[in-house]
Amino acid sequence: MNAVETKRLTSADVETAAAIIRSGGLLGIPTETVYGLGADGLNQEAVHAIFRAKGRPQDNPLILHVPGTEWLERYCENIPDKAYDLTEKFWPGPLTLILPRKPQVPDAVTAGLPTVGMRCPACEVTRLVIQKADTPIAAPSGNTSGRPSPTSAQDMLEDMDGKIDAILDDGPCSVGVESTILDLTVTPPRLLRPGGVTLEELEEVLGEVAVDDAVRRLMAPGEQPKAPGMKYRHYAPKAPVTVVKGDPDMTAGYIVARMGEKSGVICFDEFKGYFRGHPVEPIGPVHDQAEQARRIFDALRAFDHLEVTDIWAQSPTDDGIGLAVTNRLNKAAGFHIIEV
């Protein structure tokens, strides 16, 4: 692809942003979770360009972003009542529903699967762009494939400057980890990726929810997780990561005793004084899981600009949105986890 100059747009530029989508271009879109790499979800060529810009494997399907529940029937069929219980409670918001697709959804979006992921982002300016363009926006996270997801326009430009037409800057993301993905084509519904809407919140609406194995452990070679993207090494900084799980005082002590001269540390705010002389990325107080979610990808990205040979991380707990944070951290570590 020829290098293009990436324009910076703001919420005043909805018309320009929508025109880029209509003309088959690539647009960085803000959402409450992470920035996305968007294109017209009904235009095969535009969707192929997303895969090229990201270096994304072809077998990894994209999510379609829509401005409201009314658009579900345009692209999905056999929609169960449960879907509407969920959209009423959680849309617009960080929940992606996997539903049977209608034929007009291009194969390029679904990687040939009979299902499609549908999401209505909480970010108002992005919903306006979709409405103005009058087409769903297909968008993966706006990082180069394998890199941590971008939680600001600046992060996204670090990976995509010159590869996309424009980025719509709406400030930093308020959630900071990607949407929850829930497969509604199976019984009980299955959590494929933990995210901004928690497992506990889903269970309150649905009763039983199964959790896909790929959420909590490394897939063996040849094993196929239900969300194709969960099999790839992901969210990874360049240096290897070790996650240390347990009581925060114990994990801090464990790391101090074992870290090397050029180790970096991801830790809770309360412990940042423990690792003097080392690059430290605090991710928030022990009990503030929402802040940990907002800061985890930044922390992982930050080490790529620092001289570290390896990275140690204190593990958050995996209740609430913590399940999404530990999932991203564990994946960055290739599930290299030590319990103390």
Inter-axis angle of helices 153-160 and 289-302, nearest 10: 30
Selection from ligand TXA, Mg ion, none that 179 binds (CB < 5 to 8 A by kind) is: ligand TXA
With CB atoms as reference, the residue minimizing the distance to ligand TXA is 229
For the bound state, the minimum distance from the C-beta of residue 231 to Mg ion, rounded and expressed in Å, comes to 12
With CB atoms as reference, the residue minimizing the distance to Mg ion is 141
Selection from Mg ion, ligand TXA, none that 311 binds (CB < 5 to 8 A by kind) is: none
Selection from Mg ion, ligand TXA, none that 116 binds (CB < 5 to 8 A by kind) is: ligand TXA
Instruction: State the Rg of the chain over Cα.
Output: 20
Q: Report CA 329 to chain centroid distance, whole Å.
A: 12
Selection from ligand TXA, Mg ion, none that 315 binds (CB < 5 to 8 A by kind) is: none
> 131 or 242, CB closer to ligand TXA?
131
Task: Considering only residues 108 through 147, tell me which ones interact with Mg ion, judged by CB under 5 A.
Answer: 141
For the bound state, the minimum distance from the C-beta of residue 287 to ligand TXA, rounded and expressed in Å, comes to 25
For residue 53, give the 3-state DSSP assignment.
helix
Give the tokens for residue 216: 């909590």
**CA dihedral of residues 124, 126, 131, 133 (deg, nearest 10):** 160
> 141 or 330, CB closer to Mg ion?
141
Selection from Mg ion, ligand TXA, none that 98 binds (CB < 5 to 8 A by kind) is: ligand TXA
> 297 or 312, CB closer to Mg ion?
297
> 36 or 148, CB closer to ligand TXA?
36
Q: Show Cβ contacts of residue 205 under 8 Å, excluding neighbours closer than 6 positions.
A: 82, 85, 86, 89
Cis peptide before 61 (omega within 30 of 0): no
245: β partners: 339
- Residue 292 neighbours by CB distance under 10 Å: 28
What one-letter code names the amino acid at 145?
S
Residue 318: left (phi > 0), alpha (psi -120 to 50), or beta? alpha
Selection from ligand TXA, Mg ion, none that 230 binds (CB < 5 to 8 A by kind) is: ligand TXA
Residues that bind ligand TXA (CB under 6 A): 31, 33-34, 36, 60-63, 94, 96, 98, 110, 113, 115-117, 119, 121, 139-141, 178-179, 181, 192, 226-230
Task: Considering only residues 250 through 309, tell me which ones interact with Mg ion, judged by CB under 5 A.
Answer: none
> 14 or 108, CB closer to ligand TXA?
108
- Residue 34 neighbours by CB distance under 10 Å: 27
- For 310, half-sphere exposure in the C-beta direction (CA atoms, 13 angstrom radius) is 11
Backbone angles phi, psi at 243, to 5 degrees: -95, 135
Give the tokens for residue 39: 């294109």
For the bound state, the minimum distance from the C-beta of residue 250 to ligand TXA, rounded and expressed in Å, comes to 33
Backbone angles phi, psi at 160, to 5 degrees: -115, 0
Encoded one letter per residue, x for contact with Mg ion by CB under 5 A and - for no contact, window 300-319 reads --------------------
> 51 or 268, CB closer to ligand TXA?
51
Chain residues binding Mg ion by CB under 5 A are 141
